[in-house]
Structure 1
Amino acid sequence: MPRTTRAPRLVGAAALALAAALALTACGSSGDGSGTTKVTQQKDASPYEGTKLVKNFEKPDLQLTDTSGQPFDLRQKTNGKATLLFFGYTSCPDVCPTTMGDIGVAMKKLSPEERQKIDVVFVSTDPQRDTPKVLRTWLDSMGSDFIGLTGDLEKVKTAAKSLGIMIEDPVVNADGTVTSTHGAQVLAFLPSDDKAHVLYLGGTEVKTYEHDLPLLAQGVAA
């Protein structure tokens, strides 16, 4: 079956703030994971291998439901911790499991003390199917302490838009599969100001996360 993929666009002021040429992939209902994402990266003295953002985005004001079925306030619950934020859905065949799996591999290389200083947050773009139970089962294969959030899709779309990430409503295909189109970025928020300072695109290698996560845990400035 051919892969369904689209290129979500960056929107409004967020597009200008990134100050980079982005070609963003999205997950489809099937595929081989060969989608590409490109970025023009500034050369600077940043200690991070991820892309340093020109503008540091505010952490979204987002209240959803976590995998235990309890209300979760993103800003409040992750305040003062390094946070990796990614939007996707559990039935994605390529970008989502690859991205979260790679982060999970890198997190396992950290010491217990370092891991406690980083929150990895996965926000569902297909909340009708991604119930708290479904999210927990899916995330546990990558990181048992990963945070999964699901709920009002309009809230999710608004939060993503504030970060320059476009999300479209899920589409049910003729064969019953679902396509959820969304940006492939992971944003890293530093604990010092709870703002996004570093960007990782779909296809980022594990070694990049392995290099950067200890820096994020330490709160090293980008």
Structure 2
Amino acid sequence: MPRTTRTARTTRLAGAAALALAAALTLSACGSSGGGSTAAKVTQQKDDSPYQGTKLAKNFEKPDLQLTDTSGQPYDLRQQTNGKATLLFFGYTSCPDVCPTTMGDIGVAMKALSPEDRKKINVVFVSTDPQRDTPKVLRTWLDSMGTDFIGLTGDLSKVKTAARSLGIMIEDPVVNADGTVTSTHGAQVLAFLPSDDKAHVLYMSGTEEKTYEHDLPLLAKGVAA
């Protein structure tokens, strides 16, 4: 299997006027050999939101996305997560840094919830590297963070279109001359509330686990942002 290298760069979120932010969002090229990281600095405007994540000025619609889940079955994101709080993240399993750190922090925060509250939140990981992330690979990787996490893989063009509708940019994986692979993708997590199935809260790359621990109980209860 080809090794991956890591670079990072910043990009402006598509439709950035929709966010109450005065900053750019991060695109992360995850890999195994280290490298520099230039994380975007974010300034959150003051508001009365109970969430520690960033409140979105525009509430994005949940993408109309049909892929394959880790059991090999068709999965309709919009229909099958309807009416439940949902955390959505785009990434890939061979990333050694941003993706496992983000999903691991969410996993720890989910385990701190009561069993009842855990059932009220979907955590969905959509692969940006479907050629390598088969349903079996996804399931094995996700089980180390949350056995009930939902993994989706399939047509990359569909994934890119869905991500773009949320202002998240994804680039095709690139095989370099030395055989290494670079996969670049937006590293933010979006939280959809059960009341309207729209994204209300944004979590940037590098969000601390304690932020998720604070916010997940609110999401489970459907507290307005």
| Same fold by TM-score greater than 0.5 | yes
Are 2:30 and 2:183, in contact at CA under 8 Å, matched by a contact in 1?
A: yes
How far is the alpha carbon of 1:18 from its aligned partner? 1.5
| Structure 1 residue matching 2:152: 3-state secondary structure | strand
How far is the alpha carbon of 1:39 from its aligned partner? 1.3
| Structure 2 residue matching 1:179: 3-state secondary structure | strand
Report the AA paired with residue 214 of structure 2: H
Which one of the candidate residues 97, 107, 118 is aligned to 1:104?
107
Are 1:79 and 1:194, in contact at CA under 8 Å, matched by a contact in 2?
A: yes
- Residue deviations 1:190-219, cap 9 Å, x none? 000000000000000000000000000000
Are 2:53 and 2:215, in contact at CA under 8 Å, matched by a contact in 1?
A: yes
| Structure 1 residue matching 2:9: 3-state secondary structure | coil
Gap change, CA 1:206 and 1:48, over 3 Å in 2: same
Are 2:9 and 2:39, in contact at CA under 8 Å, matched by a contact in 1?
A: no
TM-score normalized by the length of structure 2: 0.93
Residue matched to 1:60: 63
Are 1:25 and 1:35, in contact at CA under 8 Å, matched by a contact in 2?
A: no
Distance in 2 between the 1:97 and 1:49 partners? 21
Are 1:8 and 1:167, in contact at CA under 8 Å, matched by a contact in 2?
A: no
Report the AA paired with residue 67 of structure 1: T
Which one of the candidate residues 23, 26, 30 is aligned to 2:25?
23
- Residue deviations 1:86-122, cap 9 Å, x none? 0000011110000000000000000000000000000
How far is the alpha carbon of 1:175 from its aligned partner? 3.7
How far is the alpha carbon of 1:8 from its aligned partner? 3.8
Distance in 2 between the 1:203 and 1:169 partners? 23
Distance in 2 between the 1:146 and 1:126 partners? 18
Residue matched to 1:172: 175
Matches within 5 A, 1:74-153: 74-153=77-156
Report the AA paired with residue 49 of structure 1: Q
Are 1:25 and 1:184, in contact at CA under 8 Å, matched by a contact in 2?
A: yes
| Structure 2 residue matching 1:5: 3-state secondary structure | strand
How far is the alpha carbon of 1:16 from its aligned partner? 1.7
- State percent identity of aligned pairs: 83
Gap change, CA 1:89 and 1:8, over 3 Å in 2: farther
TM-score normalized by the length of structure 1: 0.94
Are 2:56 and 2:202, in contact at CA under 8 Å, matched by a contact in 1?
A: yes
Residue matched to 2:222: 219
Tell me the number of residue pairs that the alignment of Structure 1 and Structure 2 aligns. 220
Which one of the candidate residues 159, 162, 169 is aligned to 1:159?
162
- Residue deviations 1:144-168, cap 9 Å, x none? 0000000000000000000000000
Are 1:8 and 1:182, in contact at CA under 8 Å, matched by a contact in 2?
A: no
Report the AA paired with residue 58 of structure 2: K
| Structure 2 residue matching 1:97: 3-state secondary structure | helix
Structure 2: any 5+ residue segments left out of the alignment?
A: none
Which structure: greater strand fraction?
A: 2
| Structure 1 residue matching 2:146: 3-state secondary structure | coil
Distance in 2 between the 1:129 and 1:42 partners? 40
Distance in 1 between the 2:73 and 2:153 partners? 10
Report the AA paired with residue 143 of structure 1: G
Report the AA paired with residue 143 of structure 2: D
How far is the alpha carbon of 1:25 from its aligned partner? 3.5
Distance in 1 between the 2:27 and 2:128 partners? 14
Distance in 2 between the 1:188 and 1:9 partners? 20
Distance in 1 between the 2:50 and 2:61 partners? 21
